[in-house]
Each structure stands twice: as C-alpha cells, then as structure tokens.
C-alpha cells in the first residue's frame, strides 16, 4: 500500500510539474477589477538573451510577450518576465523596465502560478496598476486558461 501511494504521488507531481513548465503560448480568460470583469489575453514567448532581466531573476528563465490591455481592447502592451524556480511567474510592462516615460498612463505588474483544474492548466494570479509616479492605482485578480488550438476542419 505504501509503495503504490508513493508511486501515485510521484506520477501526480511529475504531471503537475510538466504542465507547469509549459507556460509558453496563448492564454485567455478574465481580469477582475473590483466588481467588473474584463476579457484578458496573454501571449507568452521565450525571451532573447539580450532582453532585460527583471526583479533580480538572473538565474530564472526569462520570458516576454504581449497582453491585450483590458482598458482598450485594441491596445497591445509588451512585457518582460521571469519564471521563478518555484514555477511562479512575474511579469512587468516593458515601459517600466525600459524606463520609458508614460505620462498619464497606467502600467501593470503581474504575478501568476499554474494550477491544474479539471485536468487543464490554469494561470491564476494578481495584477497591480501603477501610475507614472510609481503609485499603485488599482489591483485585482486574473484567471487564464490555455487558448485552444485553431481547428483545421473544413
């Protein structure tokens, strides 16, 4: 009984870690701000070696990508980020990282972790908006599910 229990735990944690390591790709879901919910899309790619490192994550895997901004559904916002050793994800708007001035705009920080729900990976986390002076203006939750591949049916 004990041996089969350990085998089950090992296989479960192996499949969980495998799902956590596959964060690259497109994710879609909702962003919650107060009582409002907004459509939210995230596209995560591997980062280039010369992309900036954020949050002192020198030993972490770097990522980059884009977000369809919930404030303006046609506006894309680029980000840089890292995958921490515990498989959590931190992302920050490129304008903050590159120290580009953004007067009268808000820029976001995101923190995510991967959860398996009903056998599917979900990216669940928090976001915070900061103004051009560095003051937190808003915060909320984000729930994302991997975007299903486009079907090739005719």
Q: Which CATH architecture has domain 2-146?
A: Beta Barrel (2.40)
In angstroms, rounded to a whole number, what is the distance separating the alpha carbons of residues 142 and 154? 34
| Least confidently predicted of 53-57, 98-102, 112-116, 131-135 | 53-57
Taking the model in full, what pTM does it have? 0.71
Distance CA 123, CA 29 (A): 9
Give residue 153's pLDDT band: very low, low, confident or very high (50, 70, 90).
low
The full set of domain ranges for the chain reads: 2-146
Q: What is the 3-state secondary structure (H, E, C) of 46-82?
A: ECCCCCCCCCCCCCCEEEEEEEECCCCCCCEEEEEEE
Mean pLDDT over residues 135-147, rounded?
90
């Amino acid at each position: 009984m004990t041996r089969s229990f350990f085998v089950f735990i090992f296989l479960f944690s192996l499949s969980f870690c495998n799902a956590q390591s596959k964060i690259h790709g497109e994710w879609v879901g909702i962003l919650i701000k107060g009582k409002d919910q907004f459509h939210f899309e995230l596209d995560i790619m591997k980062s280039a070696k010369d992309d900036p490192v954020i949050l002192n994550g020198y030993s972490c895997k770097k990522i980059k990508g884009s977000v369809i901004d919930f404030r303006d559904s046609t506006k894309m916002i680029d980000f840089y980020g890292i995958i921490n050793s515990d498989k959590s994800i931190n992302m920050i708007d490129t304008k903050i990282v590159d120290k580009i001035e953004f007067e009268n705009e808000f820029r976001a920080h995101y923190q995510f972790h991967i959860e398996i729900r009903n056998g599917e990976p979900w990216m669940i986390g928090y976001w915070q908006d900061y103004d051009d002076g560095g003051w937190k203006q808003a915060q909320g939750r984000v729930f994302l599910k991997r975007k299903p591949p486009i079907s090739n049916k005719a």
